[in-house]
């Protein structure tokens, strides 16, 4: 099961709001694509690479567009921790 944290949901809303200043269509598209890519983690939780800044095997990332989907694996669930732009410093 993939669970979005409140922080990750807020990140996604922020991405939508930022992109929608230029295009509501692309804002919706990017958010939809991020959600669809994160859904793949339910079946393939190890597709992401270990986050280099953290070095913990349970905290991984997958990329889409200019964003990093940072997630944490537990035995039963996958938690989406944050959605970060590739140019920003990672803070968890």
Q: How far apart are CA 47 and CA 42, in angstroms?
A: 10
Distances (CA, A) of 34 to 7, 28, 47, 57, 70: 15, 10, 15, 22, 11
2-76 belongs to CATH 3.40.50.150 = no
- Judge whether 61 and 69 are in contact, CB under 8 Å: yes
Domain ranges of the chain: 2-76
Give the pair of three-digit tokens for residue 72.
């944490």
Query: In the prediction, which pLDDT does 84 show?
Result: 95
pTM score, whole prediction: 0.93
Give the pLDDT confidence score for residue 90 in this predicted structure: 76
CB atoms within 10 A of CB 62: 18
What pLDDT does 87 receive?
85
Paired sense of beta strands 2-4 and 67-73, if any: unpaired
Mean pLDDT, the chain, whole residue set: 95
Per-residue pLDDT of the chain (92 residues; tens, 9 = 90+): 899 999 999 999 999 999 999 999 999 999 999 999 999 999 999 999 999 989 899 999 999 999 999 999 999 999 999 999 998 877 66
The pLDDT of residue 92: 66
């Amino acid at each position: 099961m993939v669970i979005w944290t409140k922080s990750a949901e807020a990140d996604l809303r922020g991405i939508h709001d930022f992109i929608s200043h230029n295009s509501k269509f692309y804002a919706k598209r990017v958010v939809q694509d991020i959600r669809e890519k994160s859904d793949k983690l339910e079946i393939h939780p190890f597709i992401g690479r270990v986050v280099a800044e953290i070095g913990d095997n349970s905290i991984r990332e997958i990329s889409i567009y200019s964003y990093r989907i940072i997630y944490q694996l537990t035995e039963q669930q996958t938690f989406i921790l944050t959605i970060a732009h590739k140019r920003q410093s990672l803070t968890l």
